[in-house]
Amino acid sequence: MDTFSHIIIGLGLGALAQVDPAVIDHTSLSQAVIAGTVIGSNAPDFDIIYRFKGKGSYLRHHRGISHSLLALPLWGLVVSSIVYLFFPNSPFLHLYFWTLLAVLVHVFLDLFNVHGTQVLLPFSRKWIAFDSIPLVDPYFLILHVLGFSLLPFYQAGKTFLIIYIFLLLYLVIRAFSTLLIKIHLQNHFQNAVRLKLIPRMTMFKWDIIIETKEELIFGVFFKNSLYIDHTFSKKINFPELVQESKKDPSVLDFLSSTHYAYPFVQERKKGFYVYWKDLRFRTNKFFPSLVIMFISSDLKNKKSFIGNFHSLKQYKKVLRDLKRIDSN
C-alpha cells in the first residue's frame, strides 16, 4: 500500500489499542502507542534509503529484507525502543506489542497487492503476492475516515475493533474472489503458462495478463466476463541484444524487482532501443514502469534509463535524451 494509507492505518491501530486496559489507564503509554503504531506502520518502507544509491538500487531492495519475517520483530523492537526514550514511564511490553502489530499489518497488507513482498528472505527470494487489493484501496481509507469521525461519540478501541473486523472480512472476500477468478481462467485457458490478476479500485474488477507459449494476452475481467484489450507475440526481435542488455546494472536491478518484465526491441538508424517493461502496470498499450536502454550498432555505446513515467511529456523527454546519445 502507499505511504498515506500506512499512516492512516497506523493511526487506526493506535485507536484500536485503546481496547487494551493498560493503554486506557496510562496516558503516557497511550501517546507512546500512537507514535509507535504510526512509525511502525511505515517502518518496513524505510528501505527508501536505497534511493540515495539510485532508482535501480531502490527497486532491487524495496519490499525485500525489510519486509521479511526475520526483520519484523526487529523493526518492532527498534521503533518501540526509540519511542520509549520519549515516554520512559510507559510499560515497554505493551508498547512493543502494539508497535509490532503495526509492523505486521504493514507487511500483511503488502502481500495482498500486486507487488507482494519477498517475505521469506533470506531463505527464499520468491515474490509472494495475493493480487487481491489495489495499491491504494479506497475502502480502507473510507472505513478509517468513518472510524475517526465516530471517535467523539464512541469509545475508540471498540469502534476500530468493529472497523477492523469489517476490513478483515473485506480482505477475505477479495482474496477468495481472486482465487475463484484464477481457477476460472485457468480452466478456460488451459494452455496458459501463467496468469496474473491486477486488482482495480472497483471491487470484482481486475486487469488480466494471460501468458501462453506464443503470446501475451491483456484484458479486463468484470461481471464474469473477460474483455480482451490486445495481445503481443512473444517472438523477440534481436534476442542477442536482449541478452546483451541483461549485463546492464539498471536492467539487472529492474529484473530483480519483477517476474513480469518483458523485452521489446526497436531498431533505429544508429542503434537499437531495448525496452524492458513491467507488464503488471499498463494504460492501454502503455507501460509506465520500465527500463529503456540504447545500444549502438557497434555495441560500444550503451545508456539506460530506469523508472516510472507519470506523464507522456516525461516519457518523450527521456526518449529525446536517449536520441541525443544516439546522435553522438
Q: Do you know the residue count of the chain? A: 328
Q: Contact at 8 Å (CB) between 216 and 264?
A: no
User: What DSSP assignment string belongs to 243-268?
Assistant: HHHTTSHHHHHHHHH-S-EEEEEEEE
Q: Residue 325: its pLDDT value, please?
A: 57
312 or 214, greater pLDDT = 214
Q: Does pLDDT of 286 surpass 70? A: yes
Q: Is the link from the previous residue into 122 a cis peptide, with omega within 30 of 0? A: yes
Q: Residue 298: its pLDDT value, please?
A: 81
Q: Does pLDDT of 260 surpass 70? A: yes
246 or 268, greater pLDDT = 246
Q: Residue 271: its pLDDT value, please?
A: 85
The residues pairing with 294 across neighbouring beta strands, listed in sequence order, are 273, 303
Q: Contact at 8 Å (CB) between 98 and 33?
A: yes
For residue 102 the three cell numbers come to 503495526
Q: Residue 169: its pLDDT value, please?
A: 97
Q: Does pLDDT of 257 surpass 70? A: yes
User: What DSSP assignment string belongs to 87-150?
Assistant: -TTS-HHHHHHHHHHHHHHHHHHHTTSSS-B-TTTTT----B----S-SS-HHHHHHHHHHHHH
Contacts of 294 (CB under 8 A, 6+ apart): 271, 272, 273, 274, 301, 302, 303, 304, 322, 325, 326
**What is the C-alpha to C-alpha distance for residues 149 and 154, in angstroms, rounded to an integer?**
10
Q: Residue 300: its pLDDT value, please?
A: 80
For residue 261 the three cell numbers come to 518484465
Average pLDDT, the chain: 92
Domain residue ranges of the chain, discontinuous segments joined by +? 3-174, 191-233, 239-327
Q: Does pLDDT of 109 surpass 70? A: yes
Q: Which of 38, 40, 121 is nearest to 73 (CA)?
A: 40
328 pLDDT band (50/70/90 cuts)? very low
128 pLDDT band (50/70/90 cuts)? very high
Average pLDDT over residues 243-258: 92
Average pLDDT over residues 309-319: 83
Handedness of CA 33, 35, 38, 41 (dihedral sign): negative
Handedness of CA 21, 26, 31, 37 (dihedral sign): negative
Q: Does pLDDT of 54 surpass 80? A: yes
Q: If you search the block for the grid coordinates 511529456, which residue do you land on?
A: 313
Contacts of 295 (CB under 8 A, 6+ apart): 241, 244, 245, 271, 272, 273, 274, 301, 302
Which stretch, 167-171, 227-231, 286-290, 313-317, has highest mean pLDDT? Answer: 167-171
**What is the C-alpha to C-alpha distance for residues 64 and 123, in angstroms, rounded to an integer?**
12
The conformation of residue 26, written as its DSSP 8-state character, comes to -
Residue type, 237: N
Q: Residue 269: its pLDDT value, please?
A: 81
pLDDT digits over 293-309, tens only? Answer: 988 888 788 889 999 98
Residue type, 21: P
Q: What predicted TM-score, i.e. pTM, was given to this entire model?
A: 0.91
The residues pairing with 117 across neighbouring beta strands, listed in sequence order, are 128
Cα–Cα distances in Å, from 56 out to 75, 254, 256, 275, 304?
24, 6, 10, 15, 11
